[in-house]
Structure 1
């Protein structure tokens, strides 16, 4: 048996029960981390509707959270869920905020500013890696 996740009448994902159940159980955890609602509704009659007005800001909030969370265990635990969200967002044709401009505060010394820019670039590379991983994951996510 399978579940389906849809947005505006378009099926974004048609997983089996196990992955759907695990994904839905993680939603509240990441809503708390992102500080906003996901727009991912409850499963009703094997269907889960996703509200695009809430989902896009949620996906972008997850990207911002991931970009600033450097603890390796936290990022490892988050990557599967966030990767799944990114697949759904891209399938829905949503524009995501993959980059944050690297603008260090003016009060930093030139050396500290250069370090801040390098850190921002490293975090952007990590987000690029997540983007690539989510695209690979998408190949396994049935529609």
Structure 2
């Protein structure tokens, strides 16, 4: 069994159940911490809709926080989820871009990894 994360009719990610639950909990926590809607919808029996209007702003906020962070542990924690958020935004063609050289360097590093975002149709 796996979850699907969709934008409209397109599935952009299909992680295993435990991975999806950890991801959703982390997104919820970051959304609360930064006081910004995540654009990640509710879990509807393993299907999660991504709001293409809200999600890029959320990812941008997390990227900004990571690029500006001087706290080692905060950076490490954000490094756990931010590459996934970036890969999802890229796969959904949501137009994520850097606003600072630090953000640009981070995006370049993550995009060079070419994370596979497996979906059921892949």
Q: Same fold (TM over 0.5)?
A: yes
Q: What's the counterpart of residue 142 of structure 1?
A: 118
Separation in structure 1 between the aligned mates of residue 51 and residue 23 of structure 2, nearest angstrom:
16
Q: CA RMSD for the aligned pairs?
A: 1.9
Structure 1 pair 138–37 and aligned structure 2 pair: CA distance change class (3 A): same
Give the distance between the partners of 1:131 and 1:76, measured in 2 at CA.
Answer: 18
Equivalent residue in structure 2 for 1:128, among 99, 102, 105: 105
Q: Distance in 1 between matches of 2:56 and 2:62?
A: 10
User: Structure 1 residue 15: deviation in Å?
Assistant: 0.7
TM-score (ref. length: structure 2): 0.86
The separation in 2 between residues aligned to 1:39 and 1:132, in whole angstroms, is 24
How many residues are paired up?
A: 119
2:94 paired residue number: 94
**Counterparts in 2 of 1:29 and 1:47: CA distance versus 1, 3 Å:** same
Change (3 A) 1:135 1:29: farther
TM-score by length of 1: 0.74
Shift of 1:74: 0.5
Q: List runs of 5+ in structure 1 lacking aligned partners.
A: 101-120
